[in-house]
Amino acid sequence: MMTESEIKQIFKDKEALLEGHFLLTSGRHSDSYLQCARVLQYPDIAEKLAEALVDRVRAENAGVPFRPDAVCAPAVGGIILGHVVARVLGARAIFAEREGGVLTLRRGFLIRPKEQVLCVEDVITTGGSLREIVRMSREAGARLLGVAAVAERSAVPVDFGAAKTVLLNLPLKDFSPAECPLCKAGAPIVKPGSRQSPTHV
């Protein structure tokens, strides 16, 4: 099983642990950013991370049958990881997209009542997107097996009201815009992530 130090080294090697002044999806600012896509663009690494995540989930659910029917992830960041995790588990891979600001299943994807679902995200920051996936799964009548992610960057672990498995705990500093020391220093801010192309604001 991969260790946290090994996973962190992968992020560093692939220049996925960035330093600067970033506007997060939550609206908060940070002096660092995890760009998981820079790691997941390599299929061999994505597969190793998926296998490590599944191994960790199974270890944490020892003695309990763990056979998800579907792995559900939020677009866009969770799609690749959700797909490779589903392949390892022999499950369907589905993803939800934003429509009118709300994550929604499209393209004929369904979560059926009583199906066993694992919700997957690449990086947990505030956990907002993953919470929407959890809610969607429960509202569909599925049996939620838990949530899983490669990394969690929140200083305070996010509670989803379900079992949570994370490979890398990497709490990073973030600030409200009014309290951001980087703003006060006049540092240019960049909005990374998948909802908008990186731009200076």
pLDDT, residue 194, reads 52
Pairs from 87-96 (Cβ < 8 Å, separation ≥ 24): 87/50, 88/47, 88/50, 88/51, 88/54, 89/54, 89/118, 91/67, 91/118, 94/70, 96/72, 96/132, 96/133, 96/136
Interacting residues of 59 by C-beta distance below 8 A, sequence separation 6+: 1
Q: Tell me the helix, strand and coil percentages in the chain, rounded to 5.
A: 30, 30, 40
Tell me how crowded residue 142 is: count the other CB atoms within 10 A of its CB.
22
Compute CA distances 127 → 31, 48, 81, 89, 105, whole Å: 19, 24, 16, 23, 18
User: Which domains are assigned to the chain?
Assistant: 4-193 (3.40.50.2020)
pLDDT, residue 115, reads 96
pLDDT in tens, 105-150: 999 999 999 999 999 999 998 899 999 999 999 999 999 999 999 9
pLDDT in tens, 143-200: 999 999 999 988 889 999 999 999 999 888 889 999 999 999 999 999 886 544 333 3
